[in-house]
Each structure stands twice: as C-alpha cells, then as structure tokens.
A = this chain, B = another copy of it.
C-alpha cells in the first residue's frame, strides 16, 4: 500500500468534477488536461486523449445555472470525436440535449452513462489537436517541475 497522500480538493465545483472524470478516464487508458484552448475564444474543461489518438471533450456542469449560461458548447463539437457533459447526481439531466454524451461524476470518480455519437475528426485536425494537447500538457508540467520557469516565459 502506498502511503496516503494528503487530500486537497480543487476549490471550484466544476474542477472537482473534472478531477473525478480525469481519474476515471485513466481506467480506459485515456489521459487528460484541463482548460485547453482549441481555438481563441474557446476553453474546454477537460480534453482527453485515448490510446488510439481519440479526442474527447468533457464539459463539467456543476448546476442548472452553470449549464444554462453556457452559450459555447456547440462550438466544441468540431474539435473532438466525442463530446460529453459531466455532472453530479443532483443535476437535472433532462435539461441536456440529445446526441451528447453524459458522465456522472464527483471529485473522486466518474461513470460514463451515455456515449453519444462518434464523429471522427478529419486527420489534419486530429493532428493539430494532439499537438495542442502535447504542448499544453508539457507547458503546465514544466510549471510544476520547474516553478522558476514562470518568471522567464509566458504561459
């Protein structure tokens, strides 16, 4: 048994959902990053990359209001193979549009309830997205590994 790690929950409800989804996706060999910008003006809560290069986008909605004030989600569809909402057990899922994936999540774990359609990205866009993912992950990682870099370059 590894020693228990002190638990620090992310402060925002949406971030807690994202953490649980990111943990659960690792069971399917998907890795993920938070707050990736596929194109200026859009920022996804979680982008996941599968073992065969699959690109999934997961938007985390902590409440009815959080969902109803989101006017950008349809813009995400063209940047992924599959799109999911992640919500907690109290969320009124009847609100969510048909033809989208659904993940039930908390800060610790998550379960895919509905896959939604698979709309494969064109090869050129997949290549761009995998590279954006790689660059985003590496820059954030460097910020943790070498905190001093933050004063030297723009993140």
- Interface residues of chain A, those whose CB is within 8 Å of chain B, are 1-2, 4-8, 19, 22-23, 26-27, 31-34, 49, 53, 127, 130-131, 133-135, 137-142, 144-153
With A22-B149, A27-B153, A141-B144 known, 8 other A-B pairs at CB within 8 A are A5-B147, A7-B148, A19-B146, A31-B134, A31-B142, A32-B138, A34-B145, A127-B127
The residue that A150 contacts in the complex, of B5, B31, B137, B140, with Cβ under 8 A, is: B5
A8 contact set on B, CB distance < 8 A: 147
A139 contact set on B, CB distance < 8 A: 31
Q: Is the CB of A141 within 8 A of B19?
A: no
Which residue from chain B places its CB closest to the CB of A20 in the assembled complex?
B146
Q: Is the CB of A26 within 8 A of B141?
A: no
Copies in the complex: 2
Overall SS of chain A's interface: helix
Which residue from chain B places its CB closest to the CB of A141 in the assembled complex?
B141
- Given the complex of chains A and B, what is the CA–CA distance between A78 and B3 in angstroms? 40
The residue that A5 contacts in the complex, of B133, B141, B151, with Cβ under 8 A, is: B151
Answer whether A146 and B22 are a contact pair too, CB < 8 Å, given A33-B141, A135-B31: yes
Q: Is the CB of B149 within 8 A of A23?
A: yes
Instruction: Name 23 interchain pairs, CB-CB below 8 A, sorted by A.
Output: A5-B147, A5-B150, A7-B148, A22-B142, A23-B153, A26-B142, A26-B149, A26-B152, A31-B135, A33-B138, A49-B131, A49-B138, A53-B131, A130-B130, A130-B134, A133-B134, A133-B138, A137-B137, A137-B138, A140-B141, A141-B141, A144-B144, A144-B145
